[in-house]
Amino acid sequence: MIRSAAIVKTKALAPWRELRLQKRKLKKLQSAERKATKQVHPSPIGRRVPKVEALEVPDNSPATRDEMLQKAEAIGLKVDKRWSDATLLKNIEELQWVTPSDNS
């Protein structure tokens, strides 16, 4: 509001600001309403929650470099020491896929 000696003017909000203000007020009311109707279900003090035993998960971790080198030696793959673990693993898998298995 702007006041001067003889004139009193009220400043109107821009439409986008008015809409923003309405949304903010609505959001505030909704959060207050949610808090008022919130239901809390506390657990009894003496009740014990049974422990859930951890399931044994098979080891799916990637093979170590030593294991991969042994595997490569067993299948006759010439390994360059500059190969990364990913390259070594890729070459071993390719060679195993191409070579027929002895278990047939």
- Number of domains the chain is built from: 1
pLDDT by residue (tens digit) across 54-74?
A: 666 566 677 788 988 999 999
Q: Is residue 78 part of a domain?
A: yes
Q: Is residue 92 part of a domain?
A: yes
Q: Is residue 76 part of a domain?
A: yes
Residue 2 pLDDT level (bands cut at 50, 70, 90): low
Q: Is residue 2 part of a domain?
A: no
pLDDT by residue (tens digit) across 27-38?
A: 999 999 999 998
Q: Which amino acid belongs to residue 103? A: N
- By the 10 Å C-beta count (0-12 exposed, 13-18 middle, 19+ buried), 63 is classed as middle
Range of the domain at 74: 65-98
Q: Is residue 73 part of a domain?
A: yes
